[in-house]
Structure 1
Amino acid sequence: MPQSAEVLVRTEALAEPPAPAWAEQAAAELPGLNVVVAALDEGRHLVRLRDGSLWEACAVRTWGTNRPWLDPVVLGSAVHLWLAGGGDTSALHRGIRVRTSDREVHVAFTEGSPEWSAPWRRARH
């Protein structure tokens, strides 16, 4: 793992440990991280913020289209910039728009609850 970073991303969706466990471990090892992202599939990613909140980010598809691909590295950078620009964590549920060149993706966020985000913890005990 890197020694210093503001954003850390795991791009492999089928990696172990599970995304919530990996994000928590990464945040513990690198307390300066603002955003940790773990890919869940090509359009969904787990996002952990410095305050410890966990969110599932999902690329929103428009009616009649396939769900757009959402790059986890671009997502992590966009969330970091949004927060650095004054974005409030409590407003993340409204979603953000991520623009790269001529492409724009609306990203919806659902906040995870402790029961949802940590079943791997209960399984260990």
Structure 2
Amino acid sequence: MATKTAAERRTEARRAYDAYVQECPTRHLLDRISDKWVSLLLTALAGGPRRYGDLSRIVAGVSQKMLTQTLRTMERDGLVSRAVTVSVPVRVDYELTELGRSLLPVMQAIKSWAETHIEDVLAARERYDDRPN
């Protein structure tokens, strides 16, 4: 049985989608879905379709540029769908796709965990920062 080169092992691992392999495309997806705007927009869309302006109000602090960019990448990744209704002004609604809805429970759990444990994290940071070097 022949041994495999490092390049062959990396290619094989990439095909198996092992996120610990640097070239694995799942790393890009993990990077994308761990973005704070993606997680907030996913959970904001949990209740159903929302207009762009509604999302802008719900997700406080997101700039127009970042909101547009994030929604576009989420649409490209198949997490949201965009529906344009011709009217004056034009109406644009965003909704989670089936793929986006499958990610929703994970994101809701992370959001809930963060809201529940923020005091613990802030206290840990303070203890860490107060340690002598």
TM-score range, shorter chain: under 0.3
Give the number of the structure whose residues are more often helix, by fraction. Answer: 2
> Given the two structures, how large is their TM-score scaled by the length of structure 1?
0.23
Higher relative contact order (CA 8 A, sep 6+): 1
Give the number of the structure whose residues are more often strand, by fraction. Answer: 1
- Bigger CA radius of gyration: 2
> Given the two structures, how large is their TM-score scaled by the length of structure 2?
0.22
